[in-house]
Amino acid sequence: MPCGDKVRSLADFVGSTSQMIRFVKGCDCRKVIVGTEIGIIHRLAKENPDKVFIPASTRAICINMKKITLEKVYRSLRDGVYRVEVPREIAEKVKKAIENTFRVLGREPPWLRR
């Protein structure tokens, strides 16, 4: 579940997964509180062995993310399986939300680039 503005305003950094990883690599902090899905902590610790990572919540586990494997991603791309279809009205709302996320991050969505 996304956090509200009050929580984000307390954070030193808010961004995508790859942005969080870059931020942690570049910061001179020794301890980092991680306020997202705890699966990222393993990668952060592996890439930053000199830092300590503390989950904001040990219950921040996305069961659906745990179902995704490289083999399934490869098979999906190779064979066109695991296709997800959503109603057009929902797809439009999601597209707007993603575009807003890009704007907040100061980026242009790839599908709008020329």
96 with 52, same domain: the answer is no
40 with 84, same domain: the answer is no
Q: Residue 9 — very low, low, confident or very high, per pLDDT cuts 50/70/90?
A: confident
76 with 45, same domain: the answer is no
**Average pLDDT, whole number, for the chain?**
88
Quickly list DSSP for the chain: ----HHHHHH-S----HHHHHHHHHH---SEEEE-S-TTHHHHHHHH-TTSEEEES-TT---HHHHT--HHHHHHHHHH--S-----HHHHHHHHHHHHHHHHHTT---GGG--
Q: Which residue has the higher pLDDT, 46 or 17?
A: 46
For residue 91, the enclosing domain spans 68-108
Residue 1 pLDDT > 70: no
pLDDT over 70, % of the chain: 97
72 with 55, same domain: the answer is no
75 with 59, same domain: the answer is no
Q: What is the pLDDT of residues 36-90, one digit of tens each?
A: 888 899 999 999 999 999 999 889 888 887 888 889 888 888 898 877 788 999 9
Task: Give the total number of structural domains in the chain.
Answer: 2
Residue 96 pLDDT > 80: yes
Q: Residue 27 — very low, low, confident or very high, per pLDDT cuts 50/70/90?
A: very high
95 with 39, same domain: the answer is no
